[in-house]
Amino acid sequence: MAQFSIKTRLKSFTYAFSGIATLVRGEHNAWIHLLATIVVVSLGCYFSVSSLDWALLVLAISMVWLAEGMNTAVELLADAVTEEQDLLIGKAKDVAAGAVLITAIGAAVIGGLVFCPHLFN
């Protein structure tokens, strides 16, 4: 096992930030998530939502970004294996994309539960 090094740990953050930049710059759906994140955070600030509501919103936002990141990772790995059509790779990509959709729907429901009382009062 390698010895612990603060320098190495700090370098790992560089890789993580590079991955985030790759996600945001390279994926059109990530732009939609970024816009949604900005809108949700802005609405949360405007309505001064409770700490519990913030916790739910942050969890929902984080889960959508996590799902989109994992989907992108699956796509990049699959494309590295082969660029030819492959049934199993296609199914893997579809499952990963479906996970993003499920997560986004869940986040939208949470957003509705948090913001509807503020919008319709």
Tell how far CA 64 is from the center of its chain.
Answer: 4
Looking at the predicted structure, is the pLDDT value of residue 2 above 80? no
- Residues 83, 66: Cα–Cα separation, whole Å: 25
Residue-range domain boundaries for the chain: 21-119
Tens digit of each residue's pLDDT (9 = 90 or more) over 5-57? 898 888 899 999 999 999 999 889 999 999 999 999 999 999 999 999 999 99
Structure confidence by residue, pLDDT tens digits, 73-87 = 999 999 999 989 999
Looking at the domain covering 21-119, what would its CATH class be? mainly alpha
Whole-angstrom distance, CA of residue 19 vs CA of residue 57: 23
Beta strands in 7-111 (DSSP E): none
Q: Residue 34: what pLDDT? A: 95
